[in-house]
Structure 1
Amino acid sequence: MNRAQGASELLRKRAERVLAGGVSSDARRLPNGTLFVDHARGAYLYDVDGNRYIDYVLGQGPALLGHAAGPVVEAVAAQAGRGISYSAQHRDEVELAEALARVVPSAEKVRFNSVGSEAVHGALRLARGHTGRGKVVKFEGHYHGWLDPVLYSVHPPVDAAGPARRPQLVPGTGGQQLSSAADVLLAPWNDIEALTELMERHGDDVAAVIMEPVLCNTGVIMPVEGYLRAVRDLCRRTGALLVFDEVITGFRLALGGAQEYLGVTPDLAVFGKAIAGGMQLSAFTGRAEIMDRISSGQVAHAGTFNAHPVAVAAARATLEVLERDRDDLYPRVFRLGALLADGLREAARQAGVPLVVTGPGPMIQTYVTESDDVRDYRDFAATDLAASARLHGLLMDRGVNIVPRGLWFLSTAHTEADVHETVAAAADALRALGTGR
């Protein structure tokens, strides 16, 4: 099944002449060709060749209400008519911060940014300013943005990454300022003993322990039972701040994010993506006594586009829908995700493909692997990543768009009919994968 690709191919050639690498973000380099979108609506993308895709990428997760959701579009258009950028305070940002403080357990006070990488940078600077310490613990396989101080050991080559229980820092890119490595400590995730040993060696120097509370940038890996509470207790004992990077999980797993869903409250949390339904807005939040380091001027935080009026309008509209309809929307997305996961498992069984499907529903992950236990980055790296890439291409050819590494996002715009159509397309793709076609 071949997609029409004539217009896309012409655009690809033009893009390669004027865009570095032919794309504006490395995440858009797909293993099976470049996707040039013409428009998106609800659960669907339409490319410049007229192909329709049931979309499970959703702008890398933020379109929780679906593409071009009516309330968000209306709010954006109305605000654009009142002014696009003020470089001044406005009513909507206060009301949005009040909404975040109302629904997010950790959000006593808020600061806004444009993208997740900035908000992570702000949260870690604040943690250092509050504690007077210099080091940050991150976990192998976790992604916290593309800036130098945290771009280590996201998806490192395993043969360069050291022992599994004492992994070694691996820079994420050429040109990275490697002096920042002196301030980063690396631990395996879901291993409280390894983290405890690391904190016993360095605890007096650790300002923050940062993690994705559900590991979404390396599969969709849930914390093992009791792990987050143990990390929470360890941070309290050592005086380090616990920081949740909820750029993906925020508002997607629950209105209050993974911290509500999993019942563990961090000291600071970072949000992005779904906060504004696809507009460029991020935030870091936390306890007032910590956030007030900014208020007092001890820790600097600035940005011309912070609390951008159009993005804030989109966020207010998004949160209004999520808060008003939470008792209907969240159960429906969980139910659809479970239906999709079950359908994919059965399709893989019938095709004879060893496919493992994990995740709570609003996001799921498919792995081509014989293992049924993926708990950390090393387990993820041991799956058949090449087969997952082939499956991505086979799905695209059949009108289903997922994140190439096997990540699927659900939205409130998806329907049971979409799921059934997806499972049928996936069954055909898996048969082709299984036979090597």
Structure 2
Amino acid sequence: METGNDADQKIIGMQERVRKYDTKKSMNLYKRTKKLIPTGSSSLMRTSSWDPYPLYIKGGKGSRIWDVDGNEYIDFLMAFGPVINGHANEYINSAVKKYIKNGDLFGAPNELEYKLAKEFKKFVTTQDMVIFALSGSDATMNALRIARAATGKDVILKFEGHYHGMHDYAAVSVEAPPIVAGLSWFPKSLPYTAGIPQGVIDSVVVSTWNDLESLSKILRIRGNEIAAIIMEPIMANSTVVTPEDGYLKGVRELADEYNILLIFDEVITGFRVSEGGAQKLYGVTPDLSTWAKALGNGYPISAISGKKEYMELIGNGVGYGGTYFASPISLAASLANLKLLEADDFAAYTRLGRITRKMGKGIEEIADNLDENIFVNYETGVIAFVFTDQRNITNYRESIVMDWNKYKAVQQKMLKRGIYYHPDGAERMPPSTAHTEADIDKFLIALEESIKEYNREN
């Protein structure tokens, strides 16, 4: 239990850190890099929203990371969610080193595929078969192809604000300003990026999440054309929005009624909100599921799982493959990662839940103490807060009604106090098993001090 004196000492330490904080090396590296690499990095989310420049990270251990200037941070981004067992985990890395000495990639089957599939089934008991890939985008792209092959239909239904990767069929209505997105009960399909063929956009129907009535209306109009309904079972790319009671079950029933495959995109929630993902947490089984991030603890791997009748279409009409799919190194890392999460009857999830709740309740207490309009929402391993006067958020359009500028300004003040997370208010914070109660205490102290500083300045 932290005493008042302990908290005072931490505040004093943070004040000294704020005074000395410097990131000139990151600034100079950004200037040099963007002359060679568009935006300064190979993924836009690593640089977007970071003003005036992103921090370049040189290493990490456990819950800590260090930038190129030598500043230390408690990491609450965790690579957007993959690093569930902490940075540079010795058990995982030792498993990788064992296989690296035998070679990197062979273009042939590997026994580790079988071992990881068996381990996967200990976690995901709701699915019959699994096959591995490289990224979340690979997984969702191929899952949609399986659904189209299985049903003989071409149209996909997704939800406004849900993110399923950067391939064309996924990059629709991820960010959709309501002024151009149209009716909330039947939103327009809008491209997330330039370069998507209009024919693809027209083959993706969009609905409002957490609204069974709207979905039912859309299916009455277009249900016979739709091959798959794909969703994040917890919307975790537009803050964290949990499903309303009975919603997932209702979608399952509607999918069955219209002969539509239901796909849960568990790229974020899988191996994080429970050992069996959101489908176990909420007791609703999809036809197909996609997994990535926390599966590999930072090593590149993803998976598709599902009912046998659909999975066995692979190789029987449905093509599938990739040079780097299921590389021995990623398989070894993933197997070790899951062994850690499985230990002591999946005790990691009890601890992860406790850490997440402490963080969430602490943010709520800060909001009460400072009379701040903050909404915080969380499940085990995923949490987000926003500055808004809304008391509940159920869908994408509600999630974007926030004070984006205040969120970013507070995040910049948190960096100076040694707390690292993304400046975009839509991003979640995914704690790991490496985070301690003391880490959460430091986060909460830094947050309260940062909000106070912002309010004094504004």
TM-score range, shorter chain: over 0.9
Report the Cα offset of residue 211 of structure 1: 0.1
Equivalent-residue separation in structure 2 for 1:260 and 1:208 (angstroms)? 21
Give, in angstroms, the shift of residue 24 of structure 1. 1.1
User: CA offset at residue 167 of structure 1?
Assistant: 0.9
The alignment status of 1:91 with 2:111, answered yes or no, reads yes
Task: Find 1:269's aligned residue among 283, 289, 305.
Answer: 289
Q: Secondary structure, in 3 states, of the residue corresponding to 1:49?
A: coil
Structure 1: distance between partners of 2:429 and 2:39: 25
Q: Is the 8 A contact 1:58 1:409 kept in 2?
A: yes
Query: Which residue of the other structure, out of 398, 402, 410, is the alignment partner of 2:421?
Result: 402
Cα distance, 1:53 vs. partner? 0.8
Paired AA for residue 332 in structure 2: A
1:308 aligns with 2:308: no
Provide the alpha-carbon RMSD of the alignment: 1.3
Cα distance in 2 between the residues matched to 1:21 and 1:119? 26
Query: Partners of 1:92 and 1:327 in 2: how far apart?
Result: 22
Q: Is 1:425 matched with 2:433? A: no
The correspondence of residues 73-152 of structure 1 with structure 2, limited to 5 A, is 73-152=93-172
Query: 252, 257, 278: which one pairs with 1:237?
Result: 257
- Tell me which residue corresponds to 1:341: 360
Q: Return the match for 2:45 from 10, 17, 27.
A: 27
Alpha-carbon contact 2:142-2:320 (below 8 Å) kept: yes
Query: Counterpart of 1:386?
Result: 405
2:5 alignment partner in structure 1: none
1:318 pairs with one of 337, 349, 355: 337
What are the equivalent positions in structure 2 for 1:133-212 lying under 5 Å apart? 133-212=153-232
Aligned pair count?
Answer: 436
Aligned residue in 2 for 1:415? 436
The Cα of 1:333 is off from its aligned counterpart by: 0.9
Instruction: List 4+ stretches of structure 1 deviating above 4 A.
Output: none
Shift of 1:207: 0.6
Q: Could you tell me how far 1:54 is from its partner in structure 2?
A: 0.6
Matched residue of 2:131: which SS?
Answer: strand
Give the Cα separation in 2 of the matches to 1:86 and 1:142: 36
**Cα distance in 1 for residues equivalent to 2:418 and 2:290:** 33
Which amino acid in the other structure matches residue 31 of structure 1?
A: W
Give the superposition deviation at 1:435: 2.7
1:159-178 per-position Cα deviation (integer Å, ceiling 9, x unaligned)? 11111111111111122222
Residue segments in structure 1 that go unaligned for 5+ positions in a row: none
Q: What's 1:355 paired with? A: 374
- Partner Cα distance (1:279, 1:289) in 2: 30
Structure 1 residues 388-397 or 373-382, which shifts more? Answer: 388-397
Tell me if the contact between 1:203 and 1:238 (Cα under 8 Å) persists in the aligned partners. Answer: yes
The amino acid of 2:430's aligned partner reads: F
Asked if 1 retains the 8 angstrom alpha-carbon contact of 2:274 and 2:380, the reply is: no
CA shift at 1:361, angstroms? 3.4
Mapping of residues 33-52 of structure 1, within 5 Å: 33-52=53-72
Q: Distance in 2 between matches of 1:386 and 1:170?
A: 25
Alignment TM-score, normalising by the size of structure 1: 0.97
**Partner Cα separation in structure 1 for residue 213 and residue 289 of structure 2:** 24
**Secondary structure in 1 matching 2:255:** helix
| Structure 2 partner of 1:9 | 27
> What code does the residue aligned with 1:322 have?
L
Q: Is the 8 A contact 1:214 1:220 kept in 2?
A: yes
Residue number in structure 1 paired with 2:390: 371
Rounded to whole Å, the distance in 2 between the matches of 1:323 and 1:80 is 24
Indicate if the aligned counterparts of 1:106 and 1:268 stay in contact, CA closer than 8 A: no
- Length-normalised TM-score, structure 2: 0.93
Q: Tell me the secondary structure at the aligned position of residue 356 of structure 1.
A: strand
Deviation at 1:143, TM superposition (A): 0.3
1:369-392, Cα deviation, whole Å (9 max, x unpaired): 011111000101112222222222
Distance 2:229 2:138 in 1: 17
Q: Is the 8 A contact 1:219 1:405 kept in 2?
A: no
Deviations 1:140-162 (A, max 9, x none): 01000011112011122221111
The code of the aligned residue for 2:36 comes to V
> Aligned with 1:338: secondary structure?
helix
Could you tell me the percent identity over the aligned residues? 34
The offset of 1:326, in angstroms, is: 4.4
Residues 105, 259 of structure 1: 8 Å contact kept: no
1:433, distance to aligned residue in structure 2 (A) = 2.4
Q: Distance in 2 between matches of 1:47 and 1:105?
A: 40
* Structure 1 residue 400, shift from structure 2 partner: 0.8
Q: Give distance in 2, aligned partners of 1:140 and 1:280.
A: 27
Q: Using the alignment, how far apart are the partners of 1:99 and 1:379 within structure 2?
A: 39
One-letter code of the match for 1:315? S
1:362-411 deviation per Cα after TM superposition (whole angstroms, max 9, x unaligned): 11110100111110001011122222222221211211112323421111
Greater Cα offset, 384-393 or 123-132: 384-393
Distance 2:103 2:68 in 1: 31
Deviations 1:102-125 (A, max 9, x none): 321343111211100011000000
1:299 matched to which residue of 2?
318
The letter for the 2-side match of 1:5 is T
Please give the secondary structure, in 1, of the residue aligned with 2:408.
Answer: helix
Structure 1 residue aligned with 2:455: 434
> Following the alignment from structure 2 to structure 1, what is the Cα–Cα distance between the partners of residues 30 and 453?
27
Q: Is the 8 A contact 1:249 1:258 kept in 2?
A: yes
Q: Equivalent residue for 1:328? A: 347
How many Å apart are 1:351 and its aligned residue?
Answer: 2.9
Specify the code of the residue in structure 2 equivalent to 1:77.
K
Counterpart CA distance in 2 for 1:109 and 1:435 is 56
* Equivalent pair of 1:105/1:265 in contact (CA under 8 Å): no
